[in-house]
Amino acid sequence: MQLFDVYPLFDINPVKAQGAYIWDDKENKYLDLYGGHAVISIGHSHPHYVKRLKDQLDQIGFYSNAVKMPIQQELATKLGKLSAYESYNLFLCNSGTEANENAIKLASFHTGRKKVIAFKDSFHGRTSLSLGVTDDAKLSALVNKDHEVVFVELNNEKDFLAIMDNSVCAIIIEGIQGVGGIHVPTPSFLKMIQSSCEKEGAIFILDEIQSGYGRSGNFFAHQDAEVEPHIITVAKGMGNGFPVAGVLIHPKIKASHGMLGTTFGGNYLACAASLAVLEVMEQEKLMENAKTMGNYLVEKLIKLDGVKEVRGKGLMIGIETITNSAAIRKQLLEEEKVFTGYSASKNTIRLLPPLNISKNEADAFLKAFENVLQKQLQTI
Ligand SMILES: Cc1ncc(COP(=O)(O)O)c(C=O)c1O
Pocket-testing residue among 97, 233, 343, ligand 1, by greatest number of atoms within 8 A of Cβ? 97
User: Of all residues in the chain, what percent carry a pLDDT higher than 70?
Assistant: 100
Whether residue 372 contacts residue 335, with contact meaning beta carbons closer than 8 Å, is answered with: yes
Q: What is the pLDDT of residues 164-195, one digit of tens each?
A: 999 999 999 999 999 999 999 999 999 999 99
Residue pLDDT, tens place only, 87-116: 999 999 999 999 999 999 999 999 999 999
What's the CATH architecture for 47-283?
3-Layer(aba) Sandwich (3.40)
At residue 10 the predicted structure's pLDDT band, cuts being 50, 70 and 90, is: very high
CA separation for the pair 238, 288 (Å, rounded)? 17
Q: How far is the CA of 33 from the centre of ligand 1 (A)?
A: 18
pLDDT at position 226 is 93
Assess contact for 329 and 315: CB atoms under 8 A: no
Say whether pLDDT at 144 is over 90. no
State the pLDDT at residue 192: 98
Question: Mean pLDDT, to the nearest integer, of 107-128?
Answer: 98
Pocket test of ligand 1: the residue of 210, 247, 262, 264 to mutate, having most ligand atoms within 8 Å of its CB, is: 210
Residue nearest to atom 2 of ligand 1 (CA): 124
pLDDT of res. 29 = 98
195 Cα distance to chain centroid: 25
CA 95 to ligand 1: nearest atom: 10
47-283 shares the fold of 14-46+285-378 = no
Tell me the per-residue pLDDT of 229-244, one tens digit each, with 9 for 90 and over: 999 999 999 999 999 9
> From edge to edge, which strands make up the β-sheet containing 231-234?
89-93, 245-249, 231-234, 203-207, 168-174, 115-119, 149-152
Residue 50 has pLDDT above 90, yes or no: yes
- Pocket of ligand 1 contains residue 104 by CB under 6 Å: no
Asked whether the predicted pLDDT for residue 346 surpasses 90, the reply is no
181 lines ligand 1 (CB under 6 A): no
Q: Give the pLDDT confidence score for residue 345 in this predicted structure.
A: 84
Per CATH, is 14-46+285-378 categorized as 3.90.1150.10? yes
Mean of the per-residue pLDDT values of the chain: 97
Nearest CA to ligand 1 atom 7: 96
Ligand 1 pocket, 123 CB below 6 A? yes
Asked if pLDDT for residue 31 goes beyond 90, the answer is yes
Residue 162: per-residue pLDDT: 98
Whether the per-residue pLDDT at 249 is higher than 90: the answer is: yes
CB 312 less than 6 A from any atom of ligand 1: no
HSE-CB at 284 with a 13 A cutoff on CA atoms is 21
Sketch the domain layout of the chain as residue ranges.
14-46+285-378, 47-283
Which SS3 state, helix, strand or coil, does residue 155 take? Answer: coil
pLDDT score recorded for residue 380: 80
pLDDT at position 189 is 98
pLDDT confidence of residue 99: 98
**239 C-alpha to ligand 1 centroid (Å):** 14
* Cβ–ligand 1 contact at 250 (below 6 Å): no
Give 252-311 pLDDT, tens digit per residue. Answer: 999 999 999 999 999 999 999 999 999 999 999 999 999 999 999 999 999 999 999 999
Within 13 Å and on the Cβ side, how many CA atoms surround 81?
11
Q: Which of 101, 133, 209 is the pocket-test mutation for ligand 1 (most atoms within 8 Å of CB)? A: 209
* 134 within ligand 1 shell (Cβ under 6 A): no
